[in-house]
Structure 1
Amino acid sequence: MLVLAHISDLHLDGTARSTARAEQIRDRLWELPEHVDALLVTGDIADHGTEAEYEEAARILGLRTGDAPFPVLTCPGDHDSRAPYRKALLGLPATDGPVNSAHVFDDAAVLMCDSSVPGSDEGALDDETYDWIDETLDELDDGMPALLALHHPPCTIPCPTPTGWRNPAGWPP
């Protein structure tokens, strides 16, 4: 059985507070007594999308040193910037296309999907990512389960007010 840990929204911004928070989370995850196959970090790794923020994330998550006790898989969110993300976090050429990656384990695959829309807080999977998902799933062994991980919710999430509940502040209307 595939065992995954998951975090999101580190929002590293170069401040001591965000660094300490991320290091505390990392230390707790690295010390888990149970077996973990991988850590999923689903977006908003940086707060402003700068190379310095991604360099800090790479250091904290052990992406360059191999200090992590299990693979650390990442995908961008709306605060992330693709070119600096690729260059400083992943050590890849700084390009602006979607940052998608597939990771196959013994009993399942994890597809880290880029749902960021450059210049927007909104999220969506673009045609290039949809095509990549289709091709990647087609290449997997028949019957292999696949998990798609992304930053943004994959569908509209309604937030109805429970019947009879009244908020004294008047929200939601």
Structure 2
Amino acid sequence: MLIAHLSDPHIMPRGELYQGLVNSNAMFTEAVAQLRRLTPRPDMVILTGDLVENGSPVEYQHALELLAAIEQPLLVIPGNHDEREAFRSAFSDHPLMPRTGPLHFVADTLGPVRIVGLDITVPDDHHGDFDAAAGDWLEAALSAEPDRPTIVMMHQPPFLSGIPFIDDYNCRNSERLAAIIARYPAVERVLTGHIHRFMQVRFAGTLLCTAPSTTTAIALRLSPDAEPASYIEPPALLLHHWKADTGLITHHVPIGTFRGPLPFF
């Protein structure tokens, strides 16, 4: 089972630039084109938040137009730049979209790997919060099929990356999340976005991966007094390949066309 993983496209109204500087819409269009070039084709696509920049209906309308080029089943959770009710309205025709409350879901009919989506956003703020209610919901979701290979996807990462200006906005109450995940060894990965970089860390007895953004990369500045900054680095997506004999293998896939193929050497 192949799962393509996009994150943080920050789609803007048509013709507008992200932060007034970067054409995030064109970059996301190229990311979708990269998906269509992959062979074999992914079985599904997941997107871990910050679909749009300002949470406006016009942005979601444009996002839906760009997402329409994705032919596979699509699973999306909101990030801190999304607006929950506008997001809910935009995806109201998705069968897994909750009608009220946080936008959690369980996708268990799309293949051997079950996908659990967690909405940990805090309205009008940028950090995430895995509160007690989210804990109860996740415990129930995981306990329903405790031995089935599972991915948990969320937006803000529940660890400190070492980049001080983004760590202020991580997921709070990570100890609660870790305690639940640790009880379910069948959780193959916890997948997040938000950091605009690829990172990997052990978490609660499994692996946690952060996906790069399809637009800018947050600067890898690890000094405690580092100034916030971003770069236009080569964007990328992740490809998660689940096989019964190995479990989940995660690939980092640069977005673009590159010289090759060259002779193998």
TM-score normalised by L of structure 2: 0.54
Contact 1:110 1:148 in 2 (8 A): yes
CA distance in 2, matches of 1:138, 1:50: 36
Q: How many residues are paired up?
A: 158
The residue type equivalent to 2:115 in the other structure is V
User: Is residue 40 from structure 1 mapped to residue 32 from structure 2 by the alignment?
Assistant: no
Quote how far apart the aligned CAs of 1:4 are.
Answer: 1.2
% identical equivalent positions: 27
Specify which of 19, 23, 31 is matched with residue 25 of structure 2: 19
The residue type equivalent to 2:70 in the other structure is A
Contact 1:42 1:149 in 2 (8 A): yes
Contact 1:40 1:73 in 2 (8 A): yes
Deviation digits for residues 78-126 of structure 1 (CA, Å, limit 9, x no counterpart): 0011000000234479966211111113321011111211111111223
Quote how far apart the aligned CAs of 1:30 are.
Answer: 2.1
Contact 2:54 2:82 in 1 (8 A): yes
Distance 1:126 1:53, change over 3 A: farther
- Please list every run of 5 or more consecutive structure 1 residues that lacks an aligned counterpart in the other structure: 161-170
Q: Which residue of 1 aligns with 2:155?
A: 151
Matches within 5 A, 1:1-173: 2-16=1-15, 17-62=23-68, 67-91=69-93, 97-104=101-108, 105-140=110-145, 142-159=146-163, 171-173=223-225
- Please list every run of 5 or more consecutive structure 2 residues that lacks an aligned counterpart in the other structure: 16-22, 165-222, 226-265
TM-score normalised by L of structure 1: 0.80
Structure in which a larger fraction of residues adopt helix: 1
CA distance in 2, matches of 1:14, 1:125: 31
Quote how far apart the aligned CAs of 1:157 are.
Answer: 2.8
Root-mean-square deviation (Å): 2.5
Structure in which a larger fraction of residues adopt strand: 2
Contact 2:9 2:52 in 1 (8 A): yes
Contact 2:77 2:103 in 1 (8 A): yes
CA distance in 1, matches of 2:98, 2:114: 26
Contact 1:57 1:89 in 2 (8 A): no
The residue type equivalent to 1:110 in the other structure is I
